[in-house]
A and B are shown apart, each in its own frame.
Chain A
Amino acid sequence: MTISLTINGDPLEYSGDPRRTLLSVLRNDLRLTGAKEVCGEGFCGACTVHVDGAPKVACLIPMGTLSGRSITTIEGLGAPDMLNAVQQAFVDHDVVQCGMCFPGMVLSMSHFLAETPHPTRDEIKRAMTGNLCRCTGYERIVDALASIAPAQEALS
């Protein structure tokens, strides 16, 4: 059985084992290594991708469930020379350290801010609990995200 889906806008016809995870196919078959395999059990969020626009952990999604779905990975977010507002805020606030959690963090938080344009600090932290980070201690990431909404308002 072949499963048809799109990855970053490109069609994919997948005919392998339907039980394989999306993460394994992304990393090993398509060599899209931006999604990281860290915990492998859905706790850390480092493998987050967008499935039909909503963030999901790719390590827990069997390929067989993805027929007709549209997947966006970190590689498919925006353009190579263009950072989105979350990525730019992370650069501006110098929040990156080892970097392993950030592809997932960017995808989760980009969706969160789109859904919640004026979050409180507490809302940001609660939204971030599905994305773990071992380096940063989080607060600077929260600062960066909290800076986005007012900045966008100032521009408009």
Chain B
Amino acid sequence: MSTQATTPDRLTKAVMNLPRRDARDKLQGRTRYTVDDTDAGLLHAAFRRAEIASGRILRIDTIAARAMPGVKAIATAEDAPGLHGIGIADHPLFADEVVRYHGEPLAVVAATTLDQARAAAAAIEVEIEPLPACLTMEQSLAADAPLIHPDWQSYEILKDGAARGGNVAWEATVVRGDTDAAFARDDVTIVEGTYQVGRQSHVPFEPRAVVADYEDGRFHIRTSTQVPWTVRHVTAKVLGVAESRVRVTVPAVGGGFGLKFDCSLEPFAAILARKTGRRVSLVNSRREEQMTCLSRENADILIRSAVTADGRILGREATVLMDCGAYGGEQVFLTTMTAHTLGGNYRLESVRLSSRAVYTNTPPNGAFRACNGVYNTFALERHTDEICAAIGMDPMEFRRRNVVGDGDLGATGQVFEGDVLRPMLDLALTKHGPHDGRTHTDDGRLYGRATTVGTWFIFVGPSAATVNLNADGSATLVTSGVEIGSGTMVQSLPQIVAANLGLHPDDVIVKTADTDASGRDLGVGGGRTTVSIGAASEAACEEVRQKLLRVAAQMLQTSEEQLVLKDGRVEIVGRPGSGTSIQTVIAQAEADIGPISGSGAFTAPGIPAMPGCAAGHFIDAIDIPVFAVHDCELAVDPDTGAVEILSYRVVQDVGRALNPRAVHSQIQGGVTQGIGYALHEDITINAQGAFDQAGFSDYRIPTALDTLPIDFHLYEGAPSCGPLGTKGAGEVPILNVGATIACALARATGQAANQLPLTAPRVMALMDGAGPDLRFPHISRRWSDNTIAFRD
């Protein structure tokens, strides 16, 4: 478009360390999150949850509970007939006929006070006959395992093309090239490794929370969510009403990290609002939040590689079992992402991958910052170090030779554009120096250092934006974005709009999501907000610019091409002060054509994959790859197994950093979350199918003493279809933290650090030669046995 400012010009204007406009209120305790809606007149709701992992519901009697003081309504399965899910509709709102996990909602009560609601919930009479439970994937995949969803064949399929069956909720496979031939060659070394990770809990400081109302025959849901349109869709689906009857608005969100990338409490509160005609608040207690957390899933992984003496990977086969818990949820989608992480990083001449979401009688899992990328990268990088040990090659040299670059194929046959990882590795090597041969710290602890690479993606997808130009010369950006803490809504988006319209970002008002006002959007997550909403916003600005310049050209007796928007004015190119204020043009426009607004939309067209090599996938390839190089030095106390991180250094592919200071915040925070994942955030599931960790006292998130200043370099200029060349920067910092710490710890101890988290007792056991049993009887060494689609 001829009138559009050039990219370098817009980029220059857009890049700045804009401070957050929401900081002051947050620091003064004035920000009202969903949990802060404590107004008088609100009803409070509480769940009655199952306390058994698997059982048949014989009786739920609410009569006595209904008669208790303050009780206004009770809802059960009969109030929500619909099933929802991702890929398959397998999830009822309430346990219906059977209980599939400890903590599953049986009923929800609305009462005048929270204490009354809890008392009534406890008074509901429940009779459940215990059924055999599968608490591990090994149990679920046993030949005689009970089916967690006996009716799986009758479920509505929301996405075609996947193999399913038994306790396998979803299977995604990749077959590219002939791995059998590669493994059969006599000039290859075959390296096999098994890896296991536990769950990670997000622990957002604001738990999942909602206030629902029923207004003019429609539901109004105010909620702490990352995905207003998903909440709208799922609420309508499970309640059996038209989606247009649900409105979702979102106040400031007190942390998400992916936990709030799914509909959760909203439909329950909506039902109670309709039943009572009152506003209903439903907030998870911290115990509920922990015990039913849609965690980063636990996983069991087998990788086998056929590698030549000079380090070429001729063949790779892998099976990844992802525990989805009692319902498929996000793991169904995430099976796709195994291809782009295990099949990422390195050139593979042939590859076969099986990625399976496996039902267990445990709480359902969900999305968590970089999702399965985090543990697939851990498994892949440990495996890579095992390959290097087996063929006697320096790990850095192996990585430099093999990382994907311009023209190389991804797992599903997509062709990567640009050399990114190799220059990033070289930069890291130059900046951080080569690994010396140090084995101990000065105080006698075991020393290890590792450098790893990671490949992840920006989850693009559809976004819409409207920009209204106001008479005072300010602009209002209307999107379905929400501010979860990462700063997108208060930093990158106003910076983008301001750069496009020649305004200061303070003159850009950013409206937070209201599904009655803003267009459809996939949600805030997957590193997509700056990219997708940013691109839609740029498109909306372009329409505004064109209208504005058309009017201004008439006023200033020149052509549109001769005009630029700058500092709140429309100026003739090369003649500062010759033009007029933007307010004057807006006033003229109101007289000529009416108020100026523009709408914009974005979606990535989708990168093609090699036909026929991927099955059960939600995306064929990754539209915007994003890469990271991490380097860690650590010390292990040989007497206690305690690990101290001595240095942590990141080179991150950001495309373009619009607000470098804010990106640094994401790196510092993301790496710290990764340190918790790698070392001490541990969830164990007991014989009742419940988590042993119910709160802050036993689920240990990092304190100030558990982290350190993270050194960082923002690598710019890699190709991206994002606006101004941006990529999302908030998700990827956590990607290879578990990998880097495990690889460094393996070098420090000389042991296979192939299980996360590496708690001090586990590290002691490793050093004592009593590491975990990772033989995985439920994963066959014959790859096709681990599939439905290719099994003989």
Binding site for B on A (CB under 8 A): 27-28, 31-41, 43-44, 46, 73-75, 77, 80, 83, 87, 90-92, 94-103, 106, 124-126, 128-129, 132-142
Q: A87 contacts which chain B residues (CB < 8 A)? A: 24, 27-28
Docked pose: A124 CA to B703 CA in angstroms: 12
A126: nearest chain-B partner, CB-CB: B705
List 6 tightest A-B contacts by C-beta distance, closest first.
A34-B29, A98-B485, A99-B26, A137-B672, A100-B205, A74-B29
B695–A39 contact, CB under 8 A?
A: yes
Known: A34-B28, A74-B28, A103-B29. 19 other contacts (CB 8 A): A28-B38, A31-B39, A36-B35, A41-B286, A43-B697, A75-B28, A77-B28, A87-B28, A91-B24, A98-B204, A98-B255, A98-B484, A99-B31, A132-B703, A134-B257, A136-B668, A137-B669, A138-B672, A141-B704
B665 is an interface residue with CB less than 8 A from chain A: yes
B205–A97 contact, CB under 8 A?
A: no
Q: B696 contacts which chain A residues (CB < 8 A)? A: 38-39, 41, 43-44, 132
Among B73-81, B452-460, B504-512, B707-715, the stretch in contact with A: B707-715
Which residues 133-156 of B sit at the A interface, judged by CB distance below 8 A?
Answer: none
Interface hub of B27, B31, B695, B697 (most chain A Cβ within 10 A): B27
B486–A137 contact, CB under 8 A?
A: no
Mask of B149-171 contacts with A, CB within 8 angstroms, 1/0? 00000000000000000000000
Q: B671 contacts which chain A residues (CB < 8 A)? A: 137
A137–B710 contact, CB under 8 A?
A: yes
Q: B708 contacts which chain A residues (CB < 8 A)? A: 139
Docked pose: A141 CA to B669 CA in angstroms: 11
Docked pose: A132 CA to B286 CA in angstroms: 15
B254's partner among A91, A98, A128 (CB-CB below 8 A) is A98
Docked pose: A120 CA to B255 CA in angstroms: 30
**Closest CB in chain A relative to B128 CB, distance in Å:** 28
Which residues 689-707 of B sit at the A interface, judged by CB distance below 8 A?
Answer: 695-697, 701-705, 707
Among B14-22, B85-93, B182-190, the stretch in contact with A: B14-22
**Closest CB in chain A relative to B493 CB, distance in Å:** 16
Interface residues on B, range: 35 or more
Mask of B254-293 contacts with A, CB within 8 angstroms, 1/0? 1111000000000000000000000000000110000000
B30: nearest chain-A partner, CB-CB: A34
Docked pose: A97 CA to B253 CA in angstroms: 10
B435 is an interface residue with CB less than 8 A from chain A: no
B673–A134 contact, CB under 8 A?
A: yes
Interface hub of A95, A129, A133, A142 (most chain B Cβ within 10 A): A133
B287: nearest chain-A partner, CB-CB: A40
Q: B702 contacts which chain A residues (CB < 8 A)? A: 137-138
A44: nearest chain-B partner, CB-CB: B696
**Closest CB in chain B relative to A112 CB, distance in Å:** 12
B353 is an interface residue with CB less than 8 A from chain A: no
Docked pose: A118 CA to B426 CA in angstroms: 41
Beyond A41-B697, A134-B255, A135-B669, whether A96 also contacts B29 by CB under 8 A is: no
